[in-house]
Structure 1
Amino acid sequence: MEHDVSKLNSGHTGVAPSEIAVGVIVGRASEYFDYFVYGIASVLVFPGVFFPFEEPLEGTLYSFVVFALAFIARPFGTILFFNIQRRWGRGVKLTAALFMLGFATAGIAFLPGYESVGPWAIVLLSILRCFQGIGLGGSWDGLPSLLALNAPPKRHGWYAMIPQLGAPIGFVIAAGLFLYLYSELTPADFMDWGWRYPFYVAFTINVVALFARLRIVVTDDYEELLDKYQLHPVEKVSELLDTSGGSVVIGAFAALASYALFHLVTVFPLSWLIVNSSQAIDDILIVQIIGGVLALFGVMASGWIADRIGRRSTLGTMAVLIGVFAALSPLMLGGQVVHQNIFILVGFVLLGLSYGQSAGAATGNLEPKYRYTGAALTSDLAWLIGAAFAPLVAIGLSSRFGLVALSGYLLSGVICTLLALRINRSLNKD
């Protein structure tokens, strides 16, 4: 398959295979930066700015309800922008989707708080959050699928992890920016205007990422490869669901443990420790930034591991380790500061190792003409089931029943992953 990738060097475009990887990483990092800017703000800022009439815990719960709206809207955005792509092309679709995502994110920076306009502040935040989800759903460009299909023999795991690098990169940048602002500004200035700055930055990063991706996706060579592998949206999503809906569901559940863990080591610890006044905010962010770096190396290690034992075996092994981590979570997160930090750091390592192979683990079951649409919808469903409500459920149940509820929630994701991998193994082999 390597000769297919080399075609990207031919013609007038001069796009090298490495540029595809760079385009994927830049694109995903920009999306995840938006994602984590909102996630961190939903803990540090939104309870006080948009829900000041509630106690910190209840305000955080309401904030997480709005947080989940993007994941609900995301599949609708995917389908909407597939229609745009079929009519006006991939470049128009990607440009429109990223501008919607960027404008929605930047728009949040200009929102007045509850004390200024009352409930309308919450309504406007919710609308912009939905637009974020729609834009993110429409930003699917097929580059990860192209990388996977052109992976050299015994290198599928390594190529599969490349798009996943965007998550820890985006988190480290977002958390680092919030850490700087929170540390350098007075609490009043941070809550008044400081928190808005990362949302401005997100729009700028989106514009840069857009041009980096368009430089690849609008070339003739790229379109030729997409045609070769039938990486185009299907005419009717219902056709995909009728013929391969089971594979989409299995693919989503195969990554459930990883996607549930995603928010339980990023957004949830920050909210839990702040609500319970267990650590200073800047101390938590420092530990999480270190954890994000560890996750980056974990994602890369997952590629090396998967190429030796197989992607499904890697996901299954990591799911078991996440189960052990879940069982020990109450002892760590409910213990002293050092134990809380161990929870965060170990969680990030496991997240990197599992998330690195979570995308497209079951899309091999799909017919080639369904792979492009199926990969996007599988990802959307995995985020919706595994991650959308994770921080809301985790902090809600943990505050009522104790951190043992966190263990139960994460273990349920582990069980779903192991069952899905077992079913997938019977349908498709590496």
Structure 2
Amino acid sequence: MSSSTQVEAEATGGVPRRRIVVASMVGTSIEFYDFYIYATAAVTVFPHLFFPKSDATTALLASLATFGLAFVARPVGSILFGHFGDRVGRKATLIGSLLTMGIATFLIGVLPTYAMVGILAPILLAILRFCQGLGLGGEWSGAALLATETAAPGKRAWAAMWPQLGAPIGFFIANGFFLILTLTMGHDNANPNPDGPFLSWGWRVPFLLSAIMVMIGLYVRLRLEETPVFARAVARGQKVKTPLATVFRTSWRALIIGTFVMVGTYTLFYLMTTWILSYATGPAGPNALGWKYSDFLVLQLVAVLFFAAGVPVSGRLADRFGRRSTLTVITIAIMVFGLTFGFALNRDTITEGSMLVFLSIGMLLMGLTFGPMSAVLPELFPTNVRYTGSGISYNTASILGAAVAPFIAVWLVKQFGVGWVGIYLLIAAGLTLIALLIMKETRNRDLDAV
């Protein structure tokens, strides 16, 4: 056995590298698929079916509020699953998070609407959305650790980018599915027909089919072994009884830095997906463009390919030039991008072509900033609290940068105009830039350190 092959085998615990890649990427793809079908439905379906009849903006804001509820649940999920991930192991916890997310998503597909059971409908929707957040709160950090703790020396950012690809893959499948349904069922978001096939039953299909995807993900993950880094920590007797208390006592600075490193990324992504969908397809007027839903979804599906392309590029860059310098340059580019919102999204001059360019640039920046994150956040924390610490940072940032982003953006457009949404992004990215300037480089940090 060559020395490089031996190092690879030791890093992966004897599990073939392709199996680890597939397990980390397939699982996150399923989880993000589940998450994104809700995000799409929050704009196109739920305002019509799950909330009392009122004006369109109020119904949309109520729907986006339940969308944001999952982000409140995600830090809770990171604490819950992080406890077991640092106490029991990465493999078992990843299976639990996948089941939590999958069951909640399937049940959303069978929920009664407001017309059937009244106020109980949005209550049940909110509960299941909260459960989705719990599942995703435990999923990301587990997949990131699976990738980083089995990576060969000098290739952690490249190995860690594979679970990050789950985000654009899940987005593409979820929104592609909705595009096919709306086209085949003749649904028009500008003039929705409550008795048409899409709003009657078609919207449920993506939620119900998630059950099949979850079974595939379980099959892949059940064939994994525990990561060697965690196994060595257990053998040395370095597990802690209370990971949550320990991480706040020993790594509070890393928690703060990790949270704000992610804030700009989250804000960019949910502005470029959830908010802009409502801005483009909402009723034509001063606050929205009134475009056809299916037409805009095609633009998003093309743009998400740039997201996917940016992830591996930034993985390579982060391994070569370091995490801190790579992300600093990308974050400054995001701040500049924020200054373009006012003229790029001007409803009097925008065309489908210019919108595609705008979306593609935003998604490319998203891929570039998102790619290294599953290496950066785990590298900030010691082995015995790494699952808990990276998960809390990642998911607390989701509240600050994602949960409120669509809601704030809708309000900003209504009160001050679309250009202020870009200023909002610039401020969020500015907070990330400050965190990066404070953060020390983590590329050469030993993951076995406790």
TM-score by length of 2: 0.87
Q: Using the aligned pairs only, state the percent identity.
A: 35
| Match status 1:249 vs 2:256 | yes
Partner of 1:283: 295
> Which among 209, 216, 222 is matched to residue 201 of structure 1?
209
Cα distance in 2 between the residues matched to 1:384 and 1:294: 25
Task: Within 5 Å, give how 1:370-385 maps onto structure 2.
Answer: 370-385=385-400
Q: How far is 1:157 from its partner?
A: 2.8
Partner of 2:350: 336
Task: Within 5 Å, give how 1:35-50 maps onto structure 2.
Answer: 35-50=35-50
Greater Cα offset, 111-120 or 419-428: 419-428
> Which among 373, 384, 387 is matched to residue 358 of structure 1?
373
Q: How far is 1:99 from its partner?
A: 2.2
Cα distance in 1 between the residues matched to 2:182 and 2:71: 28
8 Å contact from structure 1 (residues 233, 372) kept in 2: no
> Which among 251, 265, 273 is matched to residue 258 of structure 1?
265
Partner of 1:417: 432
Cα distance in 2 between the residues matched to 1:363 and 1:91: 16
| Partner SS, residue 439 of structure 2 | helix
8 Å contact from structure 2 (residues 341, 422) kept in 1: yes
**Which structure 1 residue ranges, 5 or more long, are not aligned?**
none
**Which structure 2 residue ranges, 5 or more long, are not aligned?**
188-195, 283-287, 446-450
Cα distance in 1 between the residues matched to 2:233 and 2:302: 39
Partner of 2:405: 390
> Which among 198, 201, 218 is matched to residue 190 of structure 1?
198
8 Å contact from structure 1 (residues 147, 160) kept in 2: yes
Q: How far is 1:229 from its partner?
A: 5.1
Task: Within 5 Å, give how 1:232-247 maps onto structure 2.
Answer: 235-247=242-254
Cα distance in 2 between the residues matched to 1:2 and 1:429: 21
Q: How far is 1:395 from its partner?
A: 1.3
| Match status 1:34 vs 2:34 | yes
Partner of 1:6: 9
| Partner SS, residue 158 of structure 1 | helix
Q: How far is 1:316 from its partner?
A: 0.9
Higher helix share: 1
Partner of 2:193: none
Partner of 1:313: 325
Cα distance in 1 between the residues matched to 2:138 and 2:119: 29
Greater Cα offset, 173-182 or 350-359: 350-359
| Match status 1:402 vs 2:405 | no
Change (3 A) 1:143 1:135: closer
How many pairs align? 423
Q: How far is 1:178 from its partner?
A: 0.2
Cα distance in 1 between the residues matched to 2:17 and 2:233: 16
Cα distance in 1 between the residues matched to 2:159 and 2:108: 35
Describe the superposition over 1:381-418 as per-residue Cα deviations: whole angstroms up to 9, x where unpaired.
12222111111111122122111220121011111111
8 Å contact from structure 1 (residues 2, 150) kept in 2: no
Two-structure CA RMSD over aligned residues (Å) = 2.5
Change (3 A) 1:70 1:136: same
Partner of 1:227: 231
Partner of 2:362: 347
Q: How far is 1:340 from its partner?
A: 2.2
Greater Cα offset, 341-350 or 74-83: 74-83
Q: How far is 1:259 from its partner?
A: 1.2
Counterpart residue type for residue 264 of structure 1: L
Q: How far is 1:94 from its partner?
A: 3.7
Counterpart residue type for residue 79 of structure 1: I
Cα distance in 2 between the residues matched to 1:426 and 1:89: 27
Cα distance in 2 between the residues matched to 1:33 and 1:211: 18
Cα distance in 2 between the residues matched to 1:41 and 1:379: 24
Cα distance in 2 between the residues matched to 1:41 and 1:205: 19
| Match status 1:127 vs 2:90 | no
8 Å contact from structure 1 (residues 94, 141) kept in 2: no
8 Å contact from structure 1 (residues 232, 372) kept in 2: no
Describe the superposition over 1:47-77 as per-residue Cα deviations: whole angstroms up to 9, x where unpaired.
1111251222221111111011111112222
8 Å contact from structure 1 (residues 90, 141) kept in 2: no
Cα distance in 1 between the residues matched to 2:305 and 2:86: 39
